Amino acid sequence: MRAAVATGVNAPLFLTEVDTPAPGPGEVLVKITACGVCFSDLGLLRGHYPFARFPVVPGHEITGVITAVGDGVSWPEVGTPVGAQFLYDSCGHCDYCVRGEQILCPRKRITGIVADGGYAEYAVLKAGYVTPLPAGLDPIAAAPLMCAGLTAFNGLRQAGATAGSRVAVIGMGGIGTLAIRYAVAIGARVAVVSRSRRGEESAKALGAELFVATEETDPAPALKAWDDGANVVLNAAPSTSAAAATLGGLAPDGTLVLCGYGSEPLELPTMPMVLNRLHVMASPSGSPHDLRDTLAFSATHGILPDITPIGLDQVPAALEAMAAGTAHGRSVISFT
């Protein structure tokens, strides 16, 4: 099969022909339909994951079809369309795994970083960690839902966003745009915080009632003037300081949730936090049940990201564009 292999930190992706893997006990062989190119794939190549195993096939926004199953696998059956995500597997017996919070398992493994992922025609995945695709969900456009969608949906949920909440989303990239759409669809009121006014029209078209351009306006008072502030601020920008700048815009008992972050430390004013019982949390992608809910919600509300289908040989260029900040929309490798 054709595969793109990461051979080490700062080494170029290597496009090659490798043997198609065979599923072992508890595993399934997935013929890959599509795999999204995620910002964390760039992080892998830049050495941001000290636990990475090289060589590795990157990619964790996978959709495909089960083509073979290993010993002892009674589900999912051959022919089932599935998605696979950042969480490759976990120990299965710690307190977090038993609670269905496998993404918090101290022994979790990450797809495309320590186990081969979706930059290939086939992948061996764990039967218990793939998610069946709801009927009618386009498997190519849906690929980024396995990571960007899951992160946005679960971030809103973990922060307690619900119908009628005032939700501010920082950033209008892949995660931010999906977070705006999910928040609107759950019935929240939505504000968008972005550096420039460039995204204002599209934010309003998606249903945002307030747009704050931080190069013109301090976001904290602007959000605080929005009926006493945001109940939830979801940071989808790759900047920690952009998130910290909105803390004063939270309503009492409000929550700032970091889905995006930068390398700079998080510095927060403590007095308003204490006086208003503010919450600051971070949220990784999610567990298998979170992905099921994300996909069901996306299918019900017709929420799919804007994507550009590319071939496997175009991945190095797509990663370069992402690194240079010139990428528009999400690139998705299509194997069909």
For the bound state, the minimum distance from the C-beta of residue 114 to Zn ion, rounded and expressed in Å, comes to: 14
CA dist 148 and 260 (Å) reads 11
Answer yes or no: are the C-beta atoms of 103 and 46 closer than 8 Å.
no
Q: Does 140 bind Zn ion (CB under 5 A)?
A: no
Among 62, 105, 123, 172, which residue sits at the site for Zn ion (rule: CB under 5 A)?
A: 105
CA distances from 162 to 157, 171, 308, 323 (A): 8, 20, 31, 34
Burial of 180 from C-beta contacts in 10 A (0-12 / 13-18 / 19+): buried
Q: Does the protein bind Zn ion through residue 87 (CB under 5 A)?
A: no
Single residue of 18, 91, 266, 273 touching Zn ion by CB under 5 A: 91
Burial of 200 (0-12, 13-18, 19+ CB in 10 A): middle
In the complex, the smallest distance separating the C-beta of residue 30 from Zn ion, rounded to whole angstroms, is 17
Only one of the segments 101-109, 154-162, 249-257, 268-276 lies at the binding site for Zn ion (rule: CB under 5 A); that segment is 101-109
Nearer to Zn ion, 150 or 220 (CB): 150
| Residues 158/159/162/167 CA torsion (nearest 10 deg) | -140
Closer to Zn ion by CB, 94 or 321: give it: 94
**Phi, psi dihedrals of residue 198, rounded to the nearest 5°:** -55, -40
Site for Zn ion contains 94 (CB under 5 A): yes
Contact call for residue 143 and Zn ion (CB under 5 A)? no
Least spacing, CB of residue 154 vs Zn ion, in Å = 13
158 vs 214 by CB, closer to Zn ion: 158
Distance separating alpha carbons of residues 120 and 333, to the nearest angstrom = 9
Task: Please say whether the beta carbons of 319 and 45 come within 8 A.
Answer: yes
> How far is 301 from 141, CA to CA, in rounded Å?
14
Nearer to Zn ion, 113 or 251 (CB): 113
CA-nearest of 107, 96, 4 to 51 is: 107
User: What DSSP string runs through 226-267?
Assistant: TTT-EEEEEE-SS-HHHHHTTGGGEEEEEEEEESS--SSPP-
Residues 6+ apart with CB under 8 A from 270: none
Segment contacting Zn ion by CB under 5 A, of 33-41, 49-57, 210-218, 293-301: 33-41
Q: Which stretch binds Zn ion (CB under 5 A): 103-111, 117-125, 190-198, 270-278?
A: 103-111
Stretch that binds Zn ion, among 42-50, 93-101, 132-140, 182-190 (CB under 5 A): 93-101
Give the footprint of Zn ion on residues 36-55 (CB under 5 A): 38, 40
Q: Can residue 62 be called a binding residue for Zn ion (CB under 5 A)?
A: no
Nearer to Zn ion, 69 or 143 (CB): 143
Nearer to Zn ion, 129 or 335 (CB): 129
Is 219 or 286 the residue whose CB approaches Zn ion more closely?
286
CB 35, CB 119: distance < 8 Å? yes
Q: Is 259 in the site for Zn ion (CB under 5 A)?
A: no
Q: How many residues bind Zn ion (CB under 5 A)?
A: 8
Which one, 147 or 183, has the nearer CB to Zn ion? 147
Which spans of this chain sit near Zn ion (rule: CB under 5 A)? 38, 40, 90-91, 94, 97, 105, 147
